[in-house]
Amino acid sequence: MRVTFPHLGNAYIAIEALLQGLGHEPVTPPLSTKRTIEWGSRYSPEDICLPFKTILGNMLEGIELGADSVYMLGGWGPCRLGYYAEIQRIILLDLGKQVEFVTLEVPRGNWGLARERLRSIFGSARIRHLFRGCQLAWAKLSVLEEVENLSLQARPREKERGSVSRFLEGQLQKIRLAQSVKTLRELKEETEAGLQDLMDRVSSHAVLRVGIVGEIYTVVEPFVNLRLEERLGSLGVEAVRTISLKEWIEDHVFKNALGLYNQNSLLRSAAGYLHSFVGGHGLESVARSAELSGCLDGIIHIYPLACMPEIMAHGILPQVSADKQIPILSLVVDEHAGETGFQTRLEAFVDLLQRRIYQCQDGRKYI
Amino acid sequence: MSGRKKVYLGVDVGSVSTNFVLLDAGRTASDGVVWKKYLRTNGAPVETLKKGLAAIEQEGKWEIQGAGTTGSGRALAGAMLNADVVKNEITAHAAAALSENPEVATIIEIGGQDSKLIILRDGVVVDFAMNTVCAAGTGSFLDQQAGRLNIPIDRFGALALQSTSPVRIAGRCTVFAESDMIHKQQLGHRTCDIVAGLCASMVRNYLSNLAKGKELKPPIFFQGGVAANVGMQRFFADTLRLPILIPRHFDVMGAIGIAQIARETLESQGKQSGFVGLDVLHSEFVNEGYVCQLCPNQCEIVEIWRDGVFLASWGSRCGRQGQYNASG
């Protein structure tokens, strides 16, 4: 099958390897652009959140490239994501797209349907290939996260503005083409060394560290968050991810399917603020903000307009901010988000953090 | 040249107005404003900037030691002037207010297209909020309604004060506020009551949008173009039950702040200003936007050219500076 799938940051690199292992031909949609959102919004309900619209746009662009199947994540929980796949399936059907729509979710009782889906997913896979594909995909996902995290540290310290992003782009394409776990390991070392060379180690001015919490899709997908991490990097700030895609898959797919996943540690961190799962990453946003406040200079909370779980978190975070003495900036994005206002808020927030540090250091006032 | 006064230039390029301030290099900021100009941007920032500079040149008695730009057009203006500092308007407004009163704890700023709330403690910005995806509660809306009622905007506030019983107007959204206002007019309410209702609803909207969960402590500064509106001043004071202070140069606080930051930056670093000089106003500027096709990112690039020479570009994700327009 020629399979297309929605984008989520650089995850496409791992997804391609996985699909190849399953014996399918991946049809990767072009990276999300303005066209993706415009196309997706045209056929989406107006008041649905931005991830839905972007994902639908990815699907349409993938189908345009000749895909005959669409893979999409499902889920069940208070977040609306659970029914996105179904609505998108119906929208594509209404648009007359002749595609097979496969929703990947942990089955809840309906084993007949699950069997049917599994049959189409594993259609032509050979066990040997399948194992190798899974192994390669997982290795790619791990390497991706590691090099991305390294680049977050390197970006605010780069000698020439933009050099880290440019270098990373090239390395990502190499990772995409890698065919063995060994090559990936070498690529990781190569990237690490390359980033070291781009960094300015002479001027060791203190770099601010800002944690990013919020709705996972918005946090991970750079087109949707207006390249938040890169913007922070060029303002001389190290962005610290609190959401790992790899961890999310481990928790919510593997452990959850086996009944091993629980949220006790999150609930402990969020104690006093939030005592239950509110869907999506709402609980994570509160828990991570509370637990990381000690080792960060500030926190940015980002979510798409109308995201219910994060609206809950938004209401709670000011209290966390006051108790833990850490500035928190909440940012809301949708397809009408203006870059100027976004940048202004970021710059003002960074100024604010900088001044706090200066004031702590020598008691003087800087404006 | 010796007879000319040494000054720092601050330019705040906003959506509705572009403000210019010259700050005496020898005096503290609050009383150092030696010249100011408030021009309508009219969607043409380059032309407006030139107009302002022409006015400075005409005076012929200033020697500019350094320049800073702020506001939504700060990057463009910064490139044109080769400004020493290009900073966001929140920092600039805070700097100006602090120079007027180091104790200031709250700044309410309402401009043409956005409104801001800045919270300060001990002279440091600790929190801020900007209105999000909505124009209700900004100067443009008042401007538009004044136009519709045929009342000059500078008389709008005074008219509101004449009201004895302001009507209640739905202020959540400008579109609904307008239809509600028309409805109240048809019912025969007095114009001054409607105008007062409008000011009150703007204050309500501002406070519920921006001030939720924030502690507004005095001294409170009210600045930005809308601070000229005495009706708004009164409703803020009534609602908050606190005195509202209007700084002397409330309409150009952003420009004052950025001029001052330019001065402090240059002085503390002991650097020479990079300001291009007033001759720049005789140059021809061309800006051009296009989608870069060099990689799949599809960045929307804007380039600016001065007299046929490439000056700067924005919007590229990779940080490239330079012209990449195949046609250009």
Residue pLDDT, tens place only, B182-218: 888 888 888 889 889 888 888 888 888 888 778 899 9
Q: At what angle do helices A50-64 and A34-42 cross, to 10 degrees?
A: 100
Regions in chain A scoring below 50 on pLDDT = 363-367
pLDDT score of B30: 67
Domain boundaries B5-97+254-282, CATH class:
alpha beta
Asked whether the beta carbons of B321 and B313 are under 8 A apart, the reply is yes
Whole-number CA gyration radius for chain B: 21
Q: Residue A87: count other Cβ atoms within 10 Å of its Cβ.
A: 15
Q: Which CATH number fits domain A207-367: 3.30.465.10, 3.40.50.300, 3.40.50.11900, 3.10.180.10?
A: 3.40.50.11900
pLDDT score of B312: 83
pLDDT score of B132: 58
Contacts of A31 in chain B (CB under 8 A): 296-297
pLDDT at B175 over 90: no
Q: Is the model more confident about B324 or about A17?
A: A17
Average pLDDT over residues B69-89: 90
The answer to whether domain B5-97+254-282 and domain B102-246 are alike in fold is: yes
| Buried b or exposed e, range B180-204, using 16+ CB within 10 angstroms | bbeebeeeebbebbbbbbbbbbbbb
Give A1→chain B minimum CA distance, Å.
26
Tell me the pLDDT tens digit for each residue of B129-154.
887 556 666 787 888 888 888 888 88
| Cβ-defined contact of B132 to A332 (cutoff 8 Å) | yes
pLDDT score of A3: 94
| Cβ-defined contact of A165 to B317 (cutoff 8 Å) | yes
Closest CA to B125 of A350, A235, A211, A344: A350
Q: How many Å apart are CA B71 and CA B74, to the nearest integer?
A: 5
Q: Which long-range contacts (CB under 8 A, 24 or more apart) does B169-174 make?
A: B169/B194, B169/B197, B169/B198, B169/B200, B169/B201, B170/B201, B171/B136, B171/B137, B171/B198, B171/B201, B171/B202, B171/B204, B171/B205, B172/B136, B172/B205, B173/B134, B173/B136, B174/B134, B174/B135, B174/B136, B174/B141, B174/B144
Tell me the pLDDT tens digit for each residue of A54-98.
999 999 999 999 999 999 988 777 778 888 999 999 999 999 998
Average pLDDT over residues B107-112: 88
pLDDT score of B44: 86
Q: Residue B2: count other Cβ atoms within 10 Å of its Cβ.
A: 4
| Cβ-defined contact of B125 to A169 (cutoff 8 Å) | no
Name residues 94-153 of chain B within 8 A of A (Cβ).
94-95, 98-99, 114, 122-128, 130, 132-133
pLDDT score of B219: 92
Contacts of B122 in chain A (CB under 8 A): 359, 365
| Cβ-defined contact of A165 to B130 (cutoff 8 Å) | no
pLDDT score of B118: 93
Contacts of A336 in chain B (CB under 8 A): 133
Provide the ipTM. 0.77
**Segment (H or E) for A327:** none
Q: Write phi, then psi, for B188 (nearest 5 degrees).
A: 100, 15
Q: Which among A34, A230, A348 has the least Cβ separation from residue B128? A: A348
Q: Where are the domains of chain A?
A: 2-125, 130-205, 207-367
**CB-count burial class (<10 Å; 0-12, 13-18, 19+) for B279:** exposed
| Cβ-defined contact of A230 to B317 (cutoff 8 Å) | yes
Give A249→chain B minimum CA distance, Å.
27
Beta-carbon contacts below 8 Å between A and B = 86
Asked whether the beta carbons of B69 and B13 are under 8 A apart, the reply is yes
Question: What is the strand order of the sheet A100-104 is part of?
Answer: A25-26, A2-4, A69-73, A100-104
| Cβ-defined contact of B91 to A351 (cutoff 8 Å) | yes
Residue for token digits 């909207």?
A: B205
Domain boundaries A2-125, CATH class:
alpha beta
pLDDT score of B328: 37
Closest CA to A298 of A343, A347, A253: A347
Tell me the pLDDT tens digit for each residue of A200-253.
876 656 789 999 999 999 999 998 998 899 999 989 899 999 988 888 888 877
CATH superfamily for B102-246 is ATPase, nucleotide binding domain (3.30.420.40)
Average pLDDT over residues B267-295: 82
Q: Where are the domains of chain B?
A: 5-97+254-282, 102-246, 284-328
| Cβ-defined contact of A344 to B90 (cutoff 8 Å) | yes
**Segment (H or E) for B17:** strand B17-24
- Residue B118 token pair: 């800045």
pLDDT at B237 over 70: yes
Tell me the pLDDT tens digit for each residue of B296-315.
667 778 888 888 888 888 77
Asked whether the beta carbons of A219 and A225 are under 8 A apart, the reply is yes
DSSP code string of B94-121: HHHHHHH-TT--EEEEE-SS-EEEEEEE
- Residue B133 token pair: 């995806």
Helix and strand element counts for chain B (H, E) = 9, 13
Average pLDDT, chain B: 84
